[in-house]
């Protein structure tokens, strides 16, 4: 008797899950780094620049996804925009090493087949995220680093910059002259997408840690640490103190908690960022979207540049929010 009663319940639960999965036609979430943003939050003029930049990034991604574009296309376009914007620690806004040079990292992953590509410690590739995608699609490897990654990028016809100082802004030039002065630049940009075909994609790009030495590489190009996507669970991009995100395999950890523990994405993400990482003083945050279009954007720092756009099926309008501190607008 109990068995017969359970069958309709199971069927109804499956239908409810299916309907939930169909509610959002597409989703895009972006971040521009997490860190100590207290001074910025009190600077109305500067905050407005970041809000405008986040809005512009979301519009770029939304235009691609609304037209039926695939996740990787949207992710790369958004991150290209961030890499061209000196407000962020990626591409032209990258922070400098202890030697006063620039070493950039990036990665991208598709959830439909778990294909991934990454570059690390590159100095002359204008858009590292494009190089990461080329590694994924044009090579048998997942990660290339340093001179080898740059040689590969040249072979693929990617845009290069002759002078490593291309990445320097007026602010970073000041840091180079006064390296003893600590930087307030906050690291890493990222984008995660659920496209109209139901595929998940995640990408991350960074200039790395200020005053890093010895070819240090953080979590951003490490698949499973700073970036991960799996159509069975989530797409994740992280930002923060990379050593801790590597140790805790944060991006994969979130996907695993969602898939195997059946935790809602917000609950799983909050646990990792505010309990696991806090226990080890791992400062930072992440953005994530699950296969049903649900979003998580937790951080344990003063703030995190972040925002999202989603469109529900059957509706003409999209929902868009951006934020720096705890509040979204």
Burial classification of residue 22, based on how many CB atoms lie within 10 Å of its CB (0-12 exposed, 13-18 middle, 19 or more buried): middle
Is 239 annotated as belonging to a binding site? yes
Nearest residue to 120 (alpha-carbon basis) of 229, 227, 36:
227
Is 217 annotated as belonging to a binding site? yes
Is 208 annotated as belonging to a binding site? no
CA distance 9 to 23: 21
Residue of 172, 188, 204, 227 marked active site = 188
Is 44 annotated as belonging to a binding site? no
Is 257 annotated as belonging to a binding site? no
Nearest residue to 68 (alpha-carbon basis) of 190, 192, 193, 203:
193
Is 188 among the catalytic positions? yes
Alpha-helical regions (H) of 67-140: 71-83, 128-138
Nearest residue to 106 (alpha-carbon basis) of 211, 198, 187, 166:
187
Q: How many helices (H) and strands (E) does the chain have?
A: 11, 12
What is the number of other CB atoms lying within 10 angstroms of the CB of residue 298? 22
Is 216 annotated as belonging to a binding site? yes
Is 127 annotated as belonging to a binding site? no
Is 219 annotated as belonging to a binding site? yes
The residues carrying an active-site annotation are 188
- Binding positions for substrate are 216-219, 239-242
């Amino acid at each position: 008797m109990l068995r017969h009663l359970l069958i309709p319940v199971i069927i109804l639960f499956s239908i409810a899950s299916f309907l939930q999965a169909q509610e959002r036609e597409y989703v895009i979430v972006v971040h521009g780094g997490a860190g100590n943003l207290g001074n910025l939050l009190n600077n109305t003029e500067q905050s407005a620049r970041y809000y405008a930049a986040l809005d512009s990034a979301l519009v770029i991604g939304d235009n691609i996804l609304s037209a039926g574009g695939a996740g990787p296309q949207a992710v790369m376009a958004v991150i290209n925009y961030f890499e061209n914007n000196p407000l962020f620690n990626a591409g032209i806004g990258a922070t400098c090493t202890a030697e006063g040079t620039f070493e950039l990292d990036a990665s991208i992953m598709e959830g439909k087949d778990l294909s991934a590509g990454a570059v690390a410690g590159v100095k002359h590739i204008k858009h590292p995220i494009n190089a990461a995608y080329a590694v994924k699609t044009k090579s048998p490897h997942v990660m290339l680093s340093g001179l080898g990654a740059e040689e590969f990028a040249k072979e693929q016809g990617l845009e290069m910059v002759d002078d490593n100082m291309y990445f320097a802004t007026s602010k970073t030039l000041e840091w180079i002259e006064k390296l003893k002065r600590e930087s307030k630049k906050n690291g890493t940009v990222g984008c995660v997408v659920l496209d109209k075909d139901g595929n998940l994609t995640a990408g991350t790009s960074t200039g790395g840690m200020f005053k890093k030495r010895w070819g240090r590489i953080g979590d951003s190009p490490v698949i499973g640490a700073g970036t991960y996507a799996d159509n069975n669970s989530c797409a994740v991009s992280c930002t923060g103190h990379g050593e801790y995100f590597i140790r805790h395999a944060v991006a994969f950890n979130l996907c695993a908690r969602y898939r195997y523990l059946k935790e809602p994405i917000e609950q799983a993400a909050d646990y990792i960022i505010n309990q696991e990482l806090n226990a080890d003083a791992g400062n930072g945050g992440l953005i994530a979207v699950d296969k049903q279009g649900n979003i998580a954007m937790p951080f344990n720092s003063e703030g995190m540049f972040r925002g999202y756009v989603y469109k529900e099926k059957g509706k003409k309008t999209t929902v868009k929010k951006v934020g720096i501190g705890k509040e979204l607008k």
